Copies of this chain bind each other. A is one copy, B any other.
Amino acid sequence: MSKEPLYLFDTTLRDGAQTAGIEFSLEDKISIARLLEELGVDYIEGGYPGANPVDTEFFEQKRTKTAKFTAFGMTKRAGRSAANDPGVQALLNSAAEAVCFVAKTWDNQVKVALEITLDENLGNLRDTVAAAVASGKEALVDCEHFFDGFKANPDYALSCVKTALDAGARWVVLCDTNGGTMPSEVTLIVNSVLAIAPGSHLGIHAHDDTGQAVANTLAAVEAGVRQIQGTLNGIGERCGNANLVTLIPTLVLKPYYAERFETGIDAAHLERITQISRAFDDRLNRAPLRQAPYVGRSAFATKAGIHASALLKDFSSYEHVPPESVGNERSIMVSQQAGKSNLLTALARHGIKLSKDDPQLERLLATVKDRESRGYSYDGADASFAVLAHEVLGTLPEYFLVENYRASVERRHNAQGEEVTVTEAVVKIRVAGELLMSVAEGNGPINALDLALRKDLGKYSSRIEDLELVDFKVRILDGGTGAVTRVLVESRDGTGERWYTIGVSPNIIDASFEALYESITYKLLKTETAQGTN
Protein backbone atom coordinates (compact mmCIF):
# COMPACT_ATOMS: atom_id res chain seq x y z
CA MET A 1 0.00 0.00 0.00
CA SER A 2 1.46 3.37 -0.96
CA LYS A 3 1.65 5.93 1.80
CA GLU A 4 -0.45 9.07 1.85
CA PRO A 5 1.38 12.41 1.94
CA LEU A 6 0.98 14.63 5.01
CA TYR A 7 1.91 18.32 4.76
CA LEU A 8 3.47 20.30 7.58
CA PHE A 9 2.55 23.96 7.84
CA ASP A 10 4.51 26.04 10.33
CA THR A 11 2.96 29.18 11.82
CA THR A 12 5.64 30.03 14.40
CA LEU A 13 6.26 33.40 12.77
CA ARG A 14 2.57 34.29 12.53
CA ASP A 15 0.39 32.65 15.19
CA GLY A 16 3.48 32.06 17.34
CA ALA A 17 4.06 35.82 17.35
CA GLN A 18 0.88 36.09 19.44
CA THR A 19 2.74 34.49 22.39
CA ALA A 20 2.86 36.69 25.47
CA GLY A 21 6.35 38.18 25.82
CA ILE A 22 7.45 37.41 22.26
CA GLU A 23 8.12 40.17 19.75
CA PHE A 24 10.08 39.03 16.68
CA SER A 25 12.53 41.38 15.03
CA LEU A 26 13.30 41.09 11.31
CA GLU A 27 16.56 39.30 12.22
CA ASP A 28 14.63 36.87 14.40
CA LYS A 29 12.26 36.08 11.55
CA ILE A 30 15.04 35.48 9.07
CA SER A 31 16.94 33.27 11.45
CA ILE A 32 13.87 31.27 12.54
CA ALA A 33 12.84 30.71 8.91
CA ARG A 34 16.28 29.15 8.41
CA LEU A 35 15.72 26.82 11.37
CA LEU A 36 12.35 25.80 9.97
CA GLU A 37 13.84 24.89 6.62
CA GLU A 38 16.44 22.82 8.43
CA LEU A 39 13.58 21.05 10.16
CA GLY A 40 11.99 20.27 6.80
CA VAL A 41 8.47 21.72 6.98
CA ASP A 42 6.47 22.25 3.78
CA TYR A 43 5.02 25.72 4.47
CA ILE A 44 6.41 28.62 6.44
CA GLU A 45 3.84 31.25 7.34
CA GLY A 46 5.91 34.36 7.96
CA GLY A 47 3.44 36.95 9.14
CA TYR A 48 1.06 39.61 7.98
CA PRO A 49 2.55 41.92 5.29
CA GLY A 50 1.05 45.39 5.50
CA ALA A 51 0.13 45.09 9.16
CA ASN A 52 3.42 46.26 10.68
CA PRO A 53 6.85 47.38 9.43
CA VAL A 54 8.69 44.17 10.39
CA ASP A 55 6.29 41.88 8.52
CA THR A 56 6.12 44.19 5.53
CA GLU A 57 9.90 44.17 5.22
CA PHE A 58 10.09 40.43 5.80
CA PHE A 59 7.81 39.90 2.80
CA GLU A 60 9.73 42.20 0.49
CA GLN A 61 11.72 39.21 -0.68
CA LYS A 62 11.32 35.46 -0.72
CA ARG A 63 12.86 34.15 2.48
CA THR A 64 12.69 30.39 1.90
CA LYS A 65 14.48 27.98 -0.43
CA THR A 66 12.34 24.84 -0.28
CA ALA A 67 9.34 25.55 1.95
CA LYS A 68 6.44 27.51 0.48
CA PHE A 69 6.73 31.09 1.67
CA THR A 70 3.28 31.98 2.99
CA ALA A 71 1.65 35.25 4.01
CA PHE A 72 -1.36 35.57 6.28
CA GLY A 73 -4.14 38.10 6.18
CA MET A 74 -7.83 38.79 6.13
CA THR A 75 -10.30 38.34 3.33
CA LYS A 76 -11.51 41.53 1.65
CA ARG A 77 -13.98 43.78 3.39
CA ALA A 78 -17.60 43.95 2.40
CA GLY A 79 -18.55 46.76 0.05
CA ARG A 80 -15.34 46.88 -1.99
CA SER A 81 -13.68 44.60 -4.51
CA ALA A 82 -10.54 42.57 -3.75
CA ALA A 83 -8.72 44.81 -6.25
CA ASN A 84 -9.67 47.85 -4.17
CA ASP A 85 -8.89 46.34 -0.78
CA PRO A 86 -5.46 47.57 0.36
CA GLY A 87 -5.11 44.68 2.84
CA VAL A 88 -5.67 42.05 0.16
CA GLN A 89 -3.43 43.90 -2.31
CA ALA A 90 -0.56 44.06 0.23
CA LEU A 91 -0.77 40.26 0.44
CA LEU A 92 -0.96 39.70 -3.31
CA ASN A 93 1.90 42.13 -4.02
CA SER A 94 4.18 40.57 -1.41
CA ALA A 95 6.94 38.07 -2.20
CA ALA A 96 4.79 35.24 -0.77
CA GLU A 97 4.13 32.17 -2.91
CA ALA A 98 1.05 31.24 -0.93
CA VAL A 99 -1.46 33.30 1.00
CA CYS A 100 -3.50 32.04 3.92
CA PHE A 101 -6.73 34.02 4.41
CA VAL A 102 -8.57 33.87 7.69
CA ALA A 103 -12.35 33.69 7.37
CA LYS A 104 -15.05 33.56 9.99
CA THR A 105 -17.22 30.43 9.84
CA TRP A 106 -19.23 30.75 13.06
CA ASP A 107 -22.50 32.36 12.10
CA ASN A 108 -22.83 34.41 15.25
CA GLN A 109 -19.28 35.80 14.89
CA VAL A 110 -20.04 36.94 11.35
CA LYS A 111 -23.02 38.89 12.63
CA VAL A 112 -21.58 40.21 15.89
CA ALA A 113 -17.92 40.81 15.12
CA LEU A 114 -17.99 41.55 11.38
CA GLU A 115 -21.50 43.03 11.36
CA ILE A 116 -22.21 41.69 7.87
CA THR A 117 -24.67 39.11 6.57
CA LEU A 118 -23.79 35.43 6.25
CA ASP A 119 -23.96 35.72 2.46
CA GLU A 120 -21.71 38.78 2.36
CA ASN A 121 -19.14 36.77 4.31
CA LEU A 122 -19.30 33.93 1.78
CA GLY A 123 -18.97 36.46 -1.06
CA ASN A 124 -15.90 38.06 0.52
CA LEU A 125 -14.34 34.63 0.92
CA ARG A 126 -15.10 33.58 -2.66
CA ASP A 127 -13.84 36.79 -4.27
CA THR A 128 -10.68 36.96 -2.18
CA VAL A 129 -9.64 33.38 -2.92
CA ALA A 130 -10.40 33.89 -6.62
CA ALA A 131 -8.30 37.07 -6.69
CA ALA A 132 -5.37 35.28 -5.03
CA VAL A 133 -5.53 32.39 -7.48
CA ALA A 134 -5.81 34.81 -10.41
CA SER A 135 -2.65 36.59 -9.21
CA GLY A 136 -0.76 33.30 -9.26
CA LYS A 137 -0.62 32.62 -5.53
CA GLU A 138 -1.57 29.37 -3.88
CA ALA A 139 -4.60 30.13 -1.69
CA LEU A 140 -5.31 28.67 1.75
CA VAL A 141 -8.23 29.48 3.99
CA ASP A 142 -8.10 29.32 7.79
CA CYS A 143 -11.64 28.71 8.99
CA GLU A 144 -11.61 30.55 12.28
CA HIS A 145 -13.71 28.99 15.07
CA PHE A 146 -14.62 26.13 12.76
CA PHE A 147 -15.48 23.63 15.50
CA ASP A 148 -17.55 26.05 17.56
CA GLY A 149 -19.14 27.28 14.36
CA PHE A 150 -20.00 23.76 13.31
CA LYS A 151 -21.65 23.05 16.66
CA ALA A 152 -23.74 26.22 16.35
CA ASN A 153 -24.64 25.99 12.66
CA PRO A 154 -23.16 23.04 10.77
CA ASP A 155 -24.68 24.01 7.44
CA TYR A 156 -23.12 27.45 7.46
CA ALA A 157 -19.70 26.19 8.59
CA LEU A 158 -19.75 23.61 5.81
CA SER A 159 -20.83 26.17 3.22
CA CYS A 160 -17.70 28.20 4.07
CA VAL A 161 -15.52 25.15 3.39
CA LYS A 162 -17.30 24.48 0.13
CA THR A 163 -17.16 28.11 -1.02
CA ALA A 164 -13.40 28.27 -0.41
CA LEU A 165 -12.69 25.04 -2.29
CA ASP A 166 -14.99 25.95 -5.18
CA ALA A 167 -13.20 29.29 -5.51
CA GLY A 168 -9.90 27.47 -5.92
CA ALA A 169 -8.36 27.24 -2.45
CA ARG A 170 -5.68 24.54 -2.29
CA TRP A 171 -6.34 24.00 1.42
CA VAL A 172 -9.13 24.72 3.84
CA VAL A 173 -7.87 24.60 7.40
CA LEU A 174 -10.22 23.73 10.26
CA CYS A 175 -9.21 25.89 13.21
CA ASP A 176 -10.03 25.19 16.83
CA THR A 177 -9.49 28.86 17.58
CA ASN A 178 -10.30 28.89 21.28
CA GLY A 179 -8.75 25.48 21.86
CA GLY A 180 -11.70 23.98 23.71
CA THR A 181 -12.59 21.05 21.47
CA MET A 182 -12.05 17.45 22.61
CA PRO A 183 -10.37 14.84 20.35
CA SER A 184 -13.59 12.79 20.08
CA GLU A 185 -15.44 15.91 18.91
CA VAL A 186 -12.70 16.58 16.34
CA THR A 187 -13.18 13.06 14.99
CA LEU A 188 -16.95 13.48 14.69
CA ILE A 189 -16.83 16.92 13.09
CA VAL A 190 -14.01 16.11 10.64
CA ASN A 191 -16.02 13.10 9.53
CA SER A 192 -18.92 15.43 8.68
CA VAL A 193 -16.63 17.72 6.68
CA LEU A 194 -15.25 14.74 4.75
CA ALA A 195 -18.74 14.16 3.43
CA ILE A 196 -18.41 17.35 1.37
CA ALA A 197 -14.64 17.85 0.92
CA PRO A 198 -11.62 15.60 0.26
CA GLY A 199 -9.17 15.13 3.16
CA SER A 200 -6.31 15.92 0.76
CA HIS A 201 -7.56 19.54 0.79
CA LEU A 202 -8.19 19.83 4.53
CA GLY A 203 -5.93 21.02 7.31
CA ILE A 204 -6.10 21.14 11.11
CA HIS A 205 -5.06 24.03 13.34
CA ALA A 206 -5.28 23.17 17.05
CA HIS A 207 -4.60 25.08 20.26
CA ASP A 208 -3.51 23.64 23.59
CA ASP A 209 -6.10 25.11 25.97
CA THR A 210 -7.02 21.68 27.31
CA GLY A 211 -3.55 20.20 26.81
CA GLN A 212 -4.73 18.28 23.76
CA ALA A 213 -3.46 20.21 20.73
CA VAL A 214 -1.28 17.28 19.69
CA ALA A 215 -4.05 14.74 20.26
CA ASN A 216 -6.60 16.87 18.39
CA THR A 217 -4.21 17.15 15.47
CA LEU A 218 -3.63 13.39 15.36
CA ALA A 219 -7.37 12.73 15.70
CA ALA A 220 -7.98 14.92 12.64
CA VAL A 221 -5.23 13.14 10.70
CA GLU A 222 -6.66 9.74 11.61
CA ALA A 223 -10.06 10.93 10.43
CA GLY A 224 -8.63 12.05 7.08
CA VAL A 225 -7.15 15.55 7.22
CA ARG A 226 -3.80 15.88 5.41
CA GLN A 227 -2.31 19.21 6.45
CA ILE A 228 -1.02 19.95 9.95
CA GLN A 229 -0.50 23.45 11.31
CA GLY A 230 1.68 24.03 14.32
CA THR A 231 4.62 25.92 15.79
CA LEU A 232 8.14 25.32 17.08
CA ASN A 233 8.02 24.24 20.73
CA GLY A 234 4.28 24.89 20.72
CA ILE A 235 4.54 28.65 21.15
CA GLY A 236 1.38 30.61 20.49
CA GLU A 237 -1.39 32.63 21.98
CA ARG A 238 -2.70 31.62 25.43
CA CYS A 239 -1.58 28.01 25.98
CA GLY A 240 0.06 27.75 22.58
CA ASN A 241 -0.45 25.97 19.27
CA ALA A 242 0.04 22.32 18.36
CA ASN A 243 3.72 21.59 18.92
CA LEU A 244 5.39 20.48 15.68
CA VAL A 245 8.47 19.41 17.62
CA THR A 246 6.28 16.84 19.39
CA LEU A 247 4.13 15.90 16.40
CA ILE A 248 6.93 15.33 13.89
CA PRO A 249 8.74 12.53 15.76
CA THR A 250 5.41 10.84 16.50
CA LEU A 251 4.43 10.90 12.83
CA VAL A 252 7.83 9.67 11.67
CA LEU A 253 8.75 7.18 14.38
CA LYS A 254 5.49 5.61 15.53
CA PRO A 255 4.62 2.67 13.25
CA TYR A 256 0.97 3.53 13.83
CA TYR A 257 1.48 6.65 11.66
CA ALA A 258 4.71 5.93 9.80
CA GLU A 259 3.15 2.91 8.10
CA ARG A 260 0.30 4.98 6.70
CA PHE A 261 1.74 8.44 6.06
CA GLU A 262 4.80 10.11 4.64
CA THR A 263 6.07 13.60 5.38
CA GLY A 264 8.96 15.64 4.03
CA ILE A 265 10.94 14.76 7.16
CA ASP A 266 13.67 12.15 6.77
CA ALA A 267 15.87 10.51 9.42
CA ALA A 268 18.57 13.18 9.05
CA HIS A 269 16.04 15.99 9.66
CA LEU A 270 14.75 14.16 12.69
CA GLU A 271 18.21 13.76 14.21
CA ARG A 272 18.49 17.58 14.19
CA ILE A 273 15.19 18.26 15.90
CA THR A 274 16.51 18.43 19.48
CA GLN A 275 19.15 20.92 18.44
CA ILE A 276 16.65 22.97 16.40
CA SER A 277 14.22 23.10 19.31
CA ARG A 278 16.96 24.30 21.67
CA ALA A 279 18.38 26.78 19.17
CA PHE A 280 14.91 28.29 18.88
CA ASP A 281 14.62 28.71 22.65
CA ASP A 282 18.11 30.21 22.65
CA ARG A 283 16.99 32.74 20.07
CA LEU A 284 14.05 33.66 22.32
CA ASN A 285 16.33 33.52 25.37
CA ARG A 286 14.00 31.03 27.03
CA ALA A 287 15.18 28.08 29.03
CA PRO A 288 14.26 24.91 27.12
CA LEU A 289 11.51 22.93 28.85
CA ARG A 290 13.20 19.93 30.48
CA GLN A 291 10.05 17.84 30.29
CA ALA A 292 9.40 18.48 26.58
CA PRO A 293 8.48 15.26 24.73
CA TYR A 294 11.34 13.86 22.64
CA VAL A 295 13.65 16.89 22.89
CA GLY A 296 13.64 17.84 26.58
CA ARG A 297 16.73 17.28 28.65
CA SER A 298 14.66 14.94 30.86
CA ALA A 299 12.84 13.17 28.02
CA PHE A 300 15.11 10.14 28.30
CA ALA A 301 16.34 10.65 31.83
CA THR A 302 15.78 8.07 34.50
CA LYS A 303 16.29 8.65 38.16
CA ALA A 304 17.62 5.78 40.22
CA GLY A 305 15.05 3.44 41.72
CA ILE A 306 13.11 0.51 40.41
CA HIS A 307 13.58 1.52 36.79
CA ALA A 308 17.30 2.10 36.61
CA SER A 309 18.38 -1.50 37.05
CA ALA A 310 15.75 -2.73 34.62
CA LEU A 311 16.81 -0.02 32.22
CA LEU A 312 20.34 -1.31 32.24
CA LYS A 313 19.03 -4.72 31.28
CA ASP A 314 16.80 -3.45 28.52
CA PHE A 315 16.67 0.17 27.44
CA SER A 316 13.83 -0.32 25.03
CA SER A 317 11.29 -1.15 27.74
CA TYR A 318 11.61 2.29 29.33
CA GLU A 319 12.20 4.30 26.17
CA HIS A 320 9.35 4.55 23.71
CA VAL A 321 11.74 5.60 20.91
CA PRO A 322 15.56 5.56 20.73
CA PRO A 323 16.84 8.96 21.99
CA GLU A 324 19.43 9.21 19.20
CA SER A 325 16.66 9.08 16.58
CA VAL A 326 15.67 12.61 17.64
CA GLY A 327 19.21 13.76 18.42
CA ASN A 328 18.63 13.56 22.16
CA GLU A 329 20.54 11.61 24.78
CA ARG A 330 19.73 8.99 27.36
CA SER A 331 20.77 9.99 30.81
CA ILE A 332 20.98 7.60 33.69
CA MET A 333 22.80 8.43 36.84
CA VAL A 334 24.23 4.96 37.36
CA SER A 335 25.75 4.49 33.90
CA GLN A 336 28.90 6.39 33.03
CA GLN A 337 29.59 4.28 29.95
CA ALA A 338 27.58 6.46 27.60
CA GLY A 339 29.34 9.47 29.08
CA LYS A 340 32.82 8.11 28.40
CA SER A 341 32.36 7.47 24.72
CA ASN A 342 30.74 10.90 24.27
CA LEU A 343 33.70 12.44 26.02
CA LEU A 344 36.23 10.64 23.82
CA THR A 345 34.43 11.95 20.75
CA ALA A 346 34.48 15.50 22.08
CA LEU A 347 38.19 15.27 22.99
CA ALA A 348 39.10 13.94 19.55
CA ARG A 349 37.40 17.00 18.06
CA HIS A 350 40.05 19.11 19.84
CA GLY A 351 42.91 16.86 18.86
CA ILE A 352 43.16 15.20 22.28
CA LYS A 353 43.56 11.43 22.18
CA LEU A 354 43.00 9.27 25.28
CA SER A 355 42.29 5.57 25.60
CA LYS A 356 38.97 4.39 27.01
CA ASP A 357 40.67 3.04 30.16
CA ASP A 358 42.77 6.11 30.89
CA PRO A 359 42.08 7.12 34.51
CA GLN A 360 42.30 10.78 33.40
CA LEU A 361 39.14 10.20 31.42
CA GLU A 362 37.31 9.22 34.59
CA ARG A 363 38.59 12.36 36.28
CA LEU A 364 37.51 14.61 33.42
CA LEU A 365 34.06 13.01 33.36
CA ALA A 366 33.66 13.60 37.09
CA THR A 367 34.74 17.23 36.67
CA VAL A 368 32.30 17.81 33.81
CA LYS A 369 29.44 16.24 35.80
CA ASP A 370 30.26 18.25 38.88
CA ARG A 371 30.37 21.49 36.89
CA GLU A 372 27.17 20.69 35.04
CA SER A 373 25.44 20.12 38.37
CA ARG A 374 26.51 23.66 39.29
CA GLY A 375 24.99 25.18 36.16
CA TYR A 376 27.64 24.82 33.46
CA SER A 377 26.43 23.38 30.21
CA TYR A 378 29.15 22.27 27.87
CA ASP A 379 26.73 21.25 25.11
CA GLY A 380 26.69 24.80 23.82
CA ALA A 381 30.19 25.84 24.93
CA ASP A 382 32.66 23.64 23.17
CA ALA A 383 35.59 26.05 23.56
CA SER A 384 35.12 26.07 27.33
CA PHE A 385 35.10 22.28 27.21
CA ALA A 386 38.46 22.32 25.37
CA VAL A 387 39.94 24.69 27.95
CA LEU A 388 38.62 22.54 30.81
CA ALA A 389 39.96 19.34 29.25
CA HIS A 390 43.45 20.81 28.85
CA GLU A 391 43.29 22.06 32.42
CA VAL A 392 42.26 18.69 33.92
CA LEU A 393 44.79 16.83 31.76
CA GLY A 394 47.55 19.24 32.79
CA THR A 395 48.24 20.38 29.22
CA LEU A 396 47.05 23.99 29.51
CA PRO A 397 49.97 26.43 29.15
CA GLU A 398 49.96 29.19 31.76
CA TYR A 399 49.45 32.10 29.39
CA PHE A 400 48.46 34.76 31.85
CA LEU A 401 47.25 35.08 35.42
CA VAL A 402 44.52 37.49 36.45
CA GLU A 403 45.64 39.21 39.64
CA ASN A 404 42.50 41.23 40.05
CA TYR A 405 39.88 43.23 38.23
CA ARG A 406 37.29 45.83 39.01
CA ALA A 407 34.26 47.07 37.10
CA SER A 408 32.14 50.01 38.10
CA VAL A 409 29.06 51.69 36.76
CA GLU A 410 28.12 55.15 37.91
CA ARG A 411 25.04 57.10 37.00
CA ARG A 412 25.22 60.77 37.87
CA HIS A 413 24.55 64.26 36.56
CA ASN A 414 27.26 65.95 34.53
CA ALA A 415 28.20 69.62 34.64
CA GLN A 416 25.34 70.44 32.26
CA GLY A 417 22.90 68.69 34.60
CA GLU A 418 22.34 65.81 32.18
CA GLU A 419 22.19 62.24 33.42
CA VAL A 420 25.21 60.27 32.29
CA THR A 421 26.40 56.76 33.00
CA VAL A 422 30.13 56.11 33.20
CA THR A 423 31.35 52.54 33.05
CA GLU A 424 34.94 51.67 33.69
CA ALA A 425 36.95 48.50 34.18
CA VAL A 426 40.47 47.90 35.43
CA VAL A 427 42.26 44.58 34.91
CA LYS A 428 45.62 43.56 36.35
CA ILE A 429 47.26 40.50 34.83
CA ARG A 430 50.65 38.81 35.01
CA VAL A 431 52.23 37.61 31.78
CA ALA A 432 55.55 35.77 32.04
CA GLY A 433 56.29 37.42 35.41
CA GLU A 434 55.45 40.89 34.17
CA LEU A 435 52.57 42.81 35.77
CA LEU A 436 50.30 44.57 33.24
CA MET A 437 47.47 46.89 34.20
CA SER A 438 44.85 48.16 31.76
CA VAL A 439 41.80 50.33 32.04
CA ALA A 440 38.94 50.87 29.62
CA GLU A 441 35.51 52.45 29.40
CA GLY A 442 32.59 50.62 27.83
CA ASN A 443 28.86 50.90 27.24
CA GLY A 444 28.36 48.36 30.02
CA PRO A 445 30.52 46.62 32.62
CA ILE A 446 31.08 43.51 30.53
CA ASN A 447 32.05 45.49 27.46
CA ALA A 448 34.48 47.53 29.57
CA LEU A 449 36.02 44.38 31.10
CA ASP A 450 36.37 42.80 27.68
CA LEU A 451 38.17 45.86 26.32
CA ALA A 452 40.46 46.18 29.35
CA LEU A 453 41.31 42.48 29.39
CA ARG A 454 42.34 42.41 25.74
CA LYS A 455 44.13 45.76 25.75
CA ASP A 456 47.54 44.40 26.66
CA LEU A 457 48.39 40.72 26.86
CA GLY A 458 52.14 41.34 26.61
CA LYS A 459 53.84 38.89 24.32
CA TYR A 460 50.51 37.30 23.41
CA SER A 461 48.90 40.52 22.21
CA SER A 462 49.59 39.87 18.53
CA ARG A 463 47.93 36.45 18.76
CA ILE A 464 44.55 37.86 19.79
CA GLU A 465 44.45 40.86 17.46
CA ASP A 466 41.75 39.36 15.25
CA LEU A 467 39.63 38.11 18.18
CA GLU A 468 36.17 39.62 18.22
CA LEU A 469 33.25 39.33 20.64
CA VAL A 470 30.16 38.55 18.57
CA ASP A 471 27.39 37.84 21.03
CA PHE A 472 26.67 37.57 24.67
CA LYS A 473 23.78 35.76 26.34
CA VAL A 474 22.67 35.73 29.93
CA ARG A 475 20.41 33.24 31.62
CA ILE A 476 19.35 33.19 35.24
CA LEU A 477 19.16 29.60 36.46
CA ASP A 478 16.71 28.51 39.17
CA GLY A 479 15.33 32.08 39.61
CA GLY A 480 14.84 33.68 43.00
CA THR A 481 17.34 34.38 45.73
CA GLY A 482 19.61 31.36 45.20
CA ALA A 483 19.91 32.27 41.54
CA VAL A 484 23.00 31.50 39.54
CA THR A 485 23.84 33.38 36.36
CA ARG A 486 25.05 31.58 33.27
CA VAL A 487 26.77 33.67 30.62
CA LEU A 488 27.51 32.41 27.14
CA VAL A 489 29.94 34.36 24.97
CA GLU A 490 30.31 33.88 21.24
CA SER A 491 33.63 34.87 19.70
CA ARG A 492 35.08 34.87 16.21
CA ASP A 493 38.43 35.49 14.59
CA GLY A 494 39.95 36.24 11.20
CA THR A 495 39.76 32.60 10.13
CA GLY A 496 35.98 32.78 10.32
CA GLU A 497 35.81 30.23 13.15
CA ARG A 498 33.25 30.95 15.85
CA TRP A 499 33.48 29.53 19.35
CA TYR A 500 31.45 29.60 22.52
CA THR A 501 32.57 29.91 26.10
CA ILE A 502 30.62 29.79 29.32
CA GLY A 503 30.82 31.27 32.78
CA VAL A 504 28.68 30.51 35.82
CA SER A 505 28.46 32.43 39.07
CA PRO A 506 25.93 34.03 41.40
CA ASN A 507 27.62 37.26 40.27
CA ILE A 508 26.90 38.23 36.67
CA ILE A 509 30.21 40.10 36.37
CA ASP A 510 32.24 37.11 37.55
CA ALA A 511 30.35 34.80 35.23
CA SER A 512 30.97 37.14 32.29
CA PHE A 513 34.62 37.54 33.11
CA GLU A 514 35.07 33.76 33.24
CA ALA A 515 33.55 33.38 29.79
CA LEU A 516 35.69 36.24 28.37
CA TYR A 517 38.82 34.77 29.95
CA GLU A 518 38.13 31.34 28.46
CA SER A 519 37.49 32.80 25.04
CA ILE A 520 40.96 34.38 25.04
CA THR A 521 42.52 31.20 26.42
CA TYR A 522 40.87 29.17 23.67
CA LYS A 523 42.13 31.59 21.04
CA LEU A 524 45.68 31.25 22.44
CA LEU A 525 45.31 27.45 22.53
CA LYS A 526 44.29 27.27 18.91
CA THR A 527 47.11 29.55 17.74
CA GLU A 528 49.45 27.45 19.92
CA THR A 529 48.57 24.40 17.86
CA ALA A 530 49.05 26.35 14.65
CA GLN A 531 52.46 27.55 15.81
CA GLY A 532 53.40 24.16 17.22
CA THR A 533 53.09 22.54 13.82
CA ASN A 534 55.36 25.09 12.19
Contacts and interface: CB of A to CB of B under 8 A. Distances in A.
A221 to B, nearest CB: 11
Given A25-B478, A240-B291, A409-B407, A52 B336 contact: yes
Interface in A350-402: 372, 377, 379-380, 402
A355 B38 CA distance: 49
Contact of A209 (B74, B299, B307): B299
A112 B314 contact: yes
A313 interface: yes
Contacts of A507: 409, 421, 423, 443-445
Contacts of A222: 184
Contacts of A161: none
Interface in A392-439: 402-413, 421, 423
A285 interface: yes
A301 interface: yes
A473 B506 CA distance: 14
Interface in A295-327: 296-303, 305-307, 309-310, 313-314, 317-321
A167 interface: no
A145 B317 contact: yes
A102 interface: yes
A179 B320 contact: yes
B292 A239 contact: yes
A303 to B, nearest CB: 5
Contacts of A119: none
B372 A290 contact: no
B302 A237 contact: yes
Given A301-B238, A406-B408, A475-B285, A183 B219 contact: yes
A293 interface: yes
Contacts of A20: 290, 297-298, 301, 303, 333, 379-380
A118 interface: no
Nearest to A285: B475
Contact of A410 (B185, B296, B406, B423): B406
Contacts of A407: 408-410
Q: Tell me the number of copies of this protein.
A: 2
A133 to B, nearest CB: 23
A405 B410 contact: yes
A530 interface: no
Interface in A161-192: 177-180, 182-185
Contacts of A408: 406-409
Interface in A119-170: 145, 148
Contact of A313 (B112, B179, B183, B185): B112
Given A20-B301, A237-B302, A113 B180 contact: no
A51 interface: yes
Interface in A8-52: 18-21, 23, 25, 27, 51-52
A64 interface: no
Given A301-B238, A410-B405, A474-B476, A113 B313 contact: yes
A317 B184 contact: no
A193 interface: no
A250 interface: yes
A428 to B, nearest CB: 9
A495 interface: no
B106 A317 contact: yes
Interface in A235-260: 237-240, 243, 246, 250, 254, 256
A508 B446 contact: yes
B444 A485 contact: yes
Contacts of A298: 19-20, 237-239
Contacts of A215: 183, 211-212, 214-215
A26 to B, nearest CB: 10
Given A18-B307, A285-B482, A407-B408, 10 more contacts: A18-B302, A109-B317, A183-B215, A209-B294, A212-B218, A215-B215, A239-B293, A285-B479, A404-B411, A408-B408
9 contacts: A113-B313, A177-B317, A180-B321, A211-B250, A212-B215, A237-B302, A238-B300, A285-B475, A409-B445
Closest 3 CB pairs of A and B: A180-B320, A215-B215, A408-B408
Interface of A: 18-21, 23, 25, 27, 51-52, 74, 102, 106, 108-109, 112-113, 145, 148, 177-180, 182-185, 208-212, 214-215, 218-219, 222, 234, 237-240, 243, 246, 250, 254, 256, 285, 287, 290-294, 296-303, 305-307, 309-310, 313-314, 317-321, 333, 335-337, 372, 377, 379-380, 402-413, 421, 423, 443-446, 469-483, 485, 490, 505-510, 513
